[in-house]
Amino acid sequence: MGKAGLIPVNSEQFRQLLIARRQELLDLSQLATDSRKPVELDQQSIGRLSRQDALQQQAMAKAQENLRRRDLARIDRALGRIEDESYGLCLECEEDIAEKRLLVDPATELCLVCKT
Answer yes or no whether residue 93 interacts with Zn ion by CB under 5 A: yes
Neighbours of 23 (CB within 10 A): 10
State how far Cα 78 lies from the chain centre. 10
Nearest distance from residue 115's CB to Zn ion, in Å? Answer: 8
* Segment interacting with Zn ion, rule: CB under 5 A, options 11-19, 60-68, 85-93, 100-108: 85-93
Instruction: Give the nearer residue to Zn ion in terms of CB position, either 59 or 103.
Output: 103
Q: How far apart are CA 71 and CA 85, in angstroms?
A: 21
Distances (CA, A) of 44 to 10, 32, 39, 81, 111: 54, 21, 10, 49, 51
Answer yes or no whether residue 1 interacts with Zn ion by CB under 5 A: no
Answer yes or no whether residue 98 interacts with Zn ion by CB under 5 A: no
Instruction: Give the nearer residue to Zn ion in terms of CB position, either 82 or 97.
Output: 97
Answer yes or no whether residue 91 interacts with Zn ion by CB under 5 A: no
- Applying CB under 5 A, among 9, 90, 102, 107 the residue interacting with Zn ion is 90
Report the candidate in 98, 90, 72, 76 with the shortest Cα–Cα distance to residue 15.
Answer: 76
Positions touching Zn ion (CB under 5 A) are 90, 92-93, 111, 114
